[in-house]
A and B are shown apart, each in its own frame.
Chain A
């Protein structure tokens, strides 16, 4: 969430976006409508990864902690949406808001009860607490909703939209729209509001921020709330495309984490570029190679990218230091 106006990063951002576009054009040229289909579904999951990655980045910026329960926020969002929209029959926007608010409160509560108490402990200790939290949330979800995946109705019908030979489900447009909206809101929050600016100050230098009167404790609380809300929203809008189940959070969290690292931890544009890149990459490898190896290739490419650009595509060099 730092240095959004940094010149070199802006260059990197445009560079990566250009590279991504180039890859997309090549695929389109080679594979035609199949390629378009891949890109559409790749960008859809990529948008979700981007939202989850933003959650990772927000928490990382304020507390230097990797939240291993981030994926569970998405899982809970989807399951709550199922309860409120499908079972209770509430209108979609209302169910959406209630679900997001509940998950946000959960994130805030965890910050107050666990993360804040450990503010003098090493980062890895806090990471293990988040792992405990993720096990806990997954088990609670399995207890409440059982282990069967549930289906949530798409926001505006299931009929695919035909577009140059590719079929795109309408929910994909909700995903794109929502991701764009979330990125815009996050940008406005971190660059235009006093609280957001304070949080960027804490991310840059917690001690200096404290000295000028920014509360690091409040920053951490808001970061966890915002991250939980982003995660929940991601889980809700993807639920109609992929099923919602108690165990979807693990993979989503893993991919979001990978996307955040790929784009450079702590960078909001990086999270978006990282998420979209990972999503498209994954869909292409799934299309070209045997599907069993899909994730292995995605991780291999991720490791190679990290070795070539250890700070991520858009991260700052000093972020690499522990």
Chain B
């Protein structure tokens, strides 16, 4: 296994500032564009992307740094969402921020309880075991009707409010979610640069060697798993307070797979890459949906995109990976497609085009 590297290693703090600035001004231009130009609500999609990013950052550590796969993180996302939803709808006085923290904490606790035995398994065996856990969680969400409301789920979840400040619009939620994402990113930077991070990377390259060097691989794996469960739980809790209703359909295997896909598409072990993967996959369905609207005068049969939007989605997913197997961030920054960096090739094209114009 190659050492995880990428943008995150070299310019992380600078990138963090650039991303923060980008986030700050995003609603300004996104809201300035009239709705009938883009046919999508950028801020709304970015909120969802930020929520997913919480879960994906933890999973990226687990997959990219510790080398352990999980196909069951929808369970932790769901535990976070259901915990705060149940507490806040049953007890109207219950502070929503506390519900969110408890959701993340409970998710971490359950992550520790199941992670301890299950992480003894490796590779595909770990994959199927975590997948099984995700399915069990989904079935419990839909069957324990007294607590979770069954397949109907929980409605009328109060919006998030922190010390009197209510996050009840997309815009407010957008800033909150991305502030959380950037703080987690900062924590993650410090984590991967610490003794723990180096230990994890050693674990990824070779578990046996890491063990021999005195790294307690078992405990490291469980710790990262718990941390990723906490982050997924946090994401789930944010999701509950953003959507204001939840049902089991939101926490299916597809979600776990989506998380892993975001990690892989962005670039495993590349922290900013993970965010790129999240944003690309969060926007992809809307872009595919809006695509026919962008082309005026498209025949009726082609503009009814609902029928084959998933065909395109699957196709694009395959194309991304086949041409950028190390992730989009890597592929665009320094990876090579057909022997030359994609960005470099694009620049060459533009230059060549300009010179012919003259």
Contact = CB atoms under 8 A, between A and B. Distances in A.
A62 to B, nearest CB: 15
Nearest to B139: A296
Contacts of A124: 63, 69, 260, 264, 268
Given A133-B314, A295-B135, A322-B122, A306 B321 contact: no
A128 B264 contact: yes
Given A261-B128, A302-B128, A125 B325 contact: yes
Interface stretch (A6-14, A113-121, A189-197): A113-121
Interface stretch (B19-27, B154-162, B214-222, B305-313): B305-313
Interface stretch (A25-33, A139-147, A233-241): A139-147
B67 A322 contact: yes
Contacts of A128: 260-261, 264-265, 317, 321
B132 A142 contact: no
A310 B125 contact: yes
A320 B123 contact: yes
A300 B139 CA distance: 12
Given A135-B310, A139-B314, A296 B140 contact: yes
Contacts of B264: 124-125, 128
Contacts of B307: 142-143
Interface of A (DSSP majority class): helix
B138 to A, nearest CB: 9
A321 B318 contact: no
Contact of A66 (B124, B265, B313): B124
A125 B122 contact: no
A290 B142 CA distance: 13
B186 interface: no
A166 interface: no
Interface string A285-301: 00000101101100110
A199 interface: no
B298 to A, nearest CB: 18
A295 B133 CA distance: 11
Interface stretch (B9-17, B35-43, B113-121, B194-202): B113-121
The contact size tier of chain B is: 35 or more
Contact of B314 (A125, A137, A292, A299): A137
B123 A135 contact: no
Interface residues of A, number: 48
Nearest to A292: B143
Contact of B321 (A129, A134, A135, A257): A129
A56 B39 CA distance: 42
Contacts of A200: none
A143 B318 contact: no
B33 interface: no
B129 interface: yes
A303 B134 CA distance: 12
Contacts of B123: 320-322
Given A118-B325, A139-B308, A307-B121, A258 B318 contact: no
A292 B145 CA distance: 11
Contacts of A160: none
B136 interface: yes
Nearest to A60: B124
A87 interface: no
Given A310-B120, A320-B125, 12 more contacts: A124-B63, A125-B268, A129-B317, A132-B315, A132-B321, A138-B314, A139-B310, A142-B310, A292-B143, A296-B140, A303-B129, A306-B129
Q: A-B pairs with the 5 shortest C-beta distances?
A: A136-B314, A132-B317, A139-B310, A299-B132, A135-B314
22 contacts: A60-B124, A113-B322, A118-B321, A124-B268, A125-B268, A131-B261, A131-B317, A133-B314, A134-B314, A135-B317, A136-B310, A136-B311, A139-B308, A139-B310, A139-B311, A261-B124, A261-B128, A296-B139, A307-B120, A320-B122, A320-B123, A320-B125
